[in-house]
Structure 1
Amino acid sequence: MNATVYTFPDRPQPPPDTGTEHPAPVTQLGGSGVYTVKEVSQILRISLGGTYALIRIGEIPAKKLGGRWVIPKRRFAEWLDSCVGDREPERR
């Protein structure tokens, strides 16, 4: 059996770092601006079904993208802050 071996060309090397250039800031896209329903249920310490129910009635601010619900972090934080004053006093 004859085997043919192919060599790969060397990869071009980046220029050496001189320390004078600053890299562009990195923008994170992978879910950094939104929560999943599961993450919100864990934050609120309520069931996943209860979280979906609150989203469906519009209590928790959320958007449906395709078949998936996402909760914008900024709007969720604002909503959560607004709920603090709505709390009923505890009975003893």
Structure 2
Amino acid sequence: MQHNVIRLVPRQTDEPTDRAVYTVPEVARLLSLSRGSAYACVRDGTIPAIRVGGRWMIPKRRFHTWLDGLTENGDN
């Protein structure tokens, strides 16, 4: 008698994980922005980010503090 073995593999998602930083595409999804708009906001300093090498990283704590501090009009 042969037994079938089922192996469960974790599902790959594009959702942010427990990392300390977000990528720009992740922030774009969180804010319902296009990637281009999110990159523009990162480059002009609207969204708090740091550049490491050639990559932009958005520290989660700074991002959520910034987001929580926005007023109804979108001003900081």
TM over 0.5: yes
TM-score, normalisation: structure 1: 0.59
Following TM superposition, the consecutive aligned residue runs of length 4 or more in structure 1 with deviations greater than 3 angstroms are none
Count, aligned residues: 57
* CA distance in 2: counterparts of 1:36 and 1:64, whole angstroms: 11
RMSD: 1.5
Pairwise mapping of residues 2-81 of structure 1 onto structure 2 (< 5 A)? 32-81=19-68
Identity fraction in percent? 51
* CA 1:31–1:37: 2 relative to 1, 3 Å: farther
Tell me how far 1:31 sits from its aligned partner: 7.0
Tell me how far 1:77 sits from its aligned partner: 0.3
TM-score, normalisation: structure 2: 0.70
Aligned to 1:87: 72
SS of the equivalent of 2:26 reads helix
Any gaps of 5 or more consecutive residues in structure 2?
1-16
Query: Of the two, which has the highest radius of gyration?
Result: 1
